[in-house]
Amino acid sequence: MKRFFSIILALCLGLSVLCASAAEKGDVNNDGITDSLDAAYILRHDAKLQLLGDQALAVADVNSDGAVDSLDSSLVLKYDVELIDSFPTATAKKQYGTYTVKTYNSAAEIDWDKVNMAPIDTYKWVNSVEFEAYAQLVYVKNWGFICRMTCMESDPPAQYTQFGDPVYLDSCMEFFAAFDNSNYINIESNSVGAMVCQYGPTKANRRPATDFLSMADMIKTNPVVGEEVWTLTIELPLTKLQAFYGKGISDATFVSGYSFKGNFYKIGKDPVTELRHYGMWNEVGTSSPDFHQPNYFGNIVME
């Protein structure tokens, strides 16, 4: 009989975890405390060892991304040890926008104060720092593109110094563009100019830029670090784009009205929580961090 009542009690406790009615956000087992035990329940759900009920799922999705997974568990643990004092609030999905590229006859004519800004103002996946950042893109006739990215950040961390190093683990700004609307280039650079640059149609099918350009002729990133802001200026001459795309890409391609896909990103580690931050111009609609998502690129249109 005692064994029978023990089983019933265990079932009731388990049911409370599966239902978790009227619980606070993160309090998956509805015991009035959001702690490591709740994080464990989230991990068990993510591993499909013990699935949560609908109401428990609602409080377990602490980052409000529509999925209950290890990211939520990590945030609950951070909350438990008081590295963070709240969870992200749900926000309306950002509408994918259009960026208009201004054309100049020469680089000397560029007035960056009059160039459109693409705000990198959507941060998601973790509850972390949100830096003010934006990107600007111009086209110089018979020469190519110049992308300038700006971030209001002091002392951006930069431990990597060589081409191909994982600069996305530093403070990093990134420009992804599919100039032919099929294959995209990803250019990622930290504040000392160390860069990752690749080309291909998908994340899984990419080739390093060194397959197309020598290091002596590599795409240039020109970082400038100030006291409270740093900029990254990326030079993309047509001659270098043609090394990737072939002669089908030329000055005649980028006429008024021509459009292609792209995105601008800011990534790095939050110095307080040690969580990575993920900023983007157009929101990436995945449940976990992944900037290699051409389906979520925005429209870039020549003026």
177 beta partners:
185, 262
Q: How confident is the model at residue 103 (pLDDT cuts 50, 70, 90)?
A: very high
User: Per mean pLDDT, which range of 106-110, 162-166, 266-270, 295-299 is the poorest?
Assistant: 266-270
> Residue 66: its pLDDT value, please?
63
Average pLDDT value for residue range 175-191: 97
Whole-number Å distance between alpha carbons of 16 and 35: 16
Percent of the chain with pLDDT over 70: 88
Domains and CATH numbers, the chain: 2-80 (1.10.1330.10), 99-302 (2.60.40.1190)
129 contacts 277 by C-beta, under 8 angstroms: yes
- Taking the C-alpha atoms of residue 130 and residue 109, their distance in angstroms, rounded to an integer, is 33
Confidence category of residue 47, pLDDT binned at 50, 70, 90 = confident
Q: Is 81 exposed, middle or buried, given 0-12, 13-18 or 19+ CB atoms closer than 10 A? A: exposed
Please determine, for residue 13, whether its predicted confidence score (pLDDT) is greater than 80. Answer: no
Neighbour-count burial of 64, counting CB atoms closer than 10 A to its CB (0-12 exposed, 13-18 middle, 19+ buried): middle
Which residues pair with residue 100 across a beta bridge? 301
What is the pLDDT, as a whole number, of residue 94? 45
Q: Give the three-state DSSP class for 168.
A: helix
Query: Can you point out the beta strands (E) in 39-153?
Result: 98-104, 118-119, 122-123, 133-140, 144-151
Pick from 53-57, 154-158, 226-230: least confident: 53-57
Residue 12 has pLDDT above 90, yes or no: no
- H or E element in which residue 37 lies: helix 36-46
Looking at per-residue pLDDT, the higher value among 136 and 269 belongs to: 136
Instruction: Categorize the per-residue pLDDT at 81 as very low, low, confident or very high, splitting at 50, 70 and 90.
Output: confident
How confident is the model at residue 18, as a pLDDT?
Answer: 44
Report pLDDT for 8.
41
